[in-house]
Amino acid sequence: MSDHSDQLEALVADVRARAAELRDVDAIDALKTEVLGRKGGRLSHVMAGLAKIPKDEKAEFGRRANDAKREIEEALDRARQRVAGASLDEALSHRYDVTFPAIPPHTGGLHLLRHTLDAVVDFFRSRGFAILTGPEVEDEYHAFETLNIPADHPARDNMDTFYLPRGGLLRPHTSPMQIRAMLAHPPPIAVLAPGKVFRRDALDASHSFMFHQIEGLHVDRGITFGHLKGFATDLCRHLFGAARRTRFRPSYFQFTEPSAEVDVSCHACDGAGCRTCKGSGWLEMGGSGMVHPNVLRAAGYDPEAFTGWAWGLGLDRIAMLRHRIDDIRTFFENDLGFLEQFG
């Protein structure tokens, strides 16, 4: 078997030496065919001598032959990797300057409404409020009945609300989240519920059939209207600057009593009166008030033991006021020139 083993070692050494000198893939493939080809390959020629080897030495020779084949294949693979790497380096050196600064990719950014929402959420979260989301398709029970809105109320008319063919409706406000939150959690509770709302409004510079609201709710023992006023003042200053002032105007909402509209002093004229505030010196922020006892009862809360305030803000309006945007439609027209100003 010694002669045959010597032939295997010589074959491996020859392949290693020749493979190390090759410079293209075709030559490597030709060497592989020459050595490992099934018909006429040099390794096959050596293996043909297996019949002349004593029976007790055939197993050892077979093992050495397998090792030789593996070493040959490894030598050819190394040569192929070396040639491929050299080809890539050569191509890059002729066609590309790898040291030249790359062109940065064009990346998107957060929408202006998202930036505004984050500012509001950061304020509420820093005061210990939980952030909740709820369904955009509601039922009349959560959207109206539990909010003390009777069946004959104009808001429930199909001229104001989007009713769906198979039942249900597109929520006209985020106030149903008051009920859903209170039904899910015992008092005390402090939550913020942002989301889309839908109303049958004509589309113009200040109205849309789809916009965004933010519902704030705080219920606990001893909550008063003074807590609401202090919270509203802090939020307006957080959003519009420390110099901003707030005022409350008496109003009426079915689900709060007493109720009030919240205004913030105009940032353009500081309350003196201008085109932005239409000469009043004030800009409307949203509706607010103390949670109506009937709403607390509908949620299973005892109005004799617990009180709370609720506040509905228009996110789109906040963004318009903060950035002096005069048309709500620009938020949804996907004008890159407009959006990239706030990216």
Task: Please tell me the predicted confidence (pLDDT) of residue 310.
Answer: 95
Query: Tens digit of pLDDT for each residue in 68-102?
Result: 778 888 888 888 888 777 776 666 666 666 677 88
Task: Please tell me the predicted confidence (pLDDT) of residue 121.
Answer: 94
Q: Is the pLDDT of residue 49 over 70?
A: no
Q: What are phi and psi of 270, to 5 degrees?
A: 55, 35
Task: Please tell me the predicted confidence (pLDDT) of residue 305.
Answer: 96
Structure letter (DSSP) for residue 101? P
**For residues 53-61, average pLDDT:** 72
Query: Tens digit of pLDDT for each residue in 109-130?
Result: 889 999 999 999 999 999 999 9
CA-CA distance, 180 to 299, in Å (whole number)?
Answer: 8
Q: Is the pLDDT of residue 197 over 80?
A: yes
DSSP β-ladder status, 246-253 and 189-198: unpaired
Report the range of poorest mean pLDDT among 13-17, 143-147, 195-199, 266-270.
Answer: 266-270
Task: Please tell me the predicted confidence (pLDDT) of residue 94.
Answer: 62
Q: Is the pLDDT of residue 1 over 60?
A: no
CA-CA distance, 145 to 197, in Å (whole number)?
Answer: 18
Per the CB < 8 A criterion, the answer to whether 5 and 64 are in contact is yes
Domains and CATH numbers, the chain: 2-95 (no CATH), 112-342 (3.30.930.10)
Query: Tens digit of pLDDT for each residue in 303-341?
Result: 999 999 999 988 998 888 888 888 888 888 888 888 888
Q: Is the pTM of this model over 0.75?
A: no
**For residues 257-264, average pLDDT:** 92
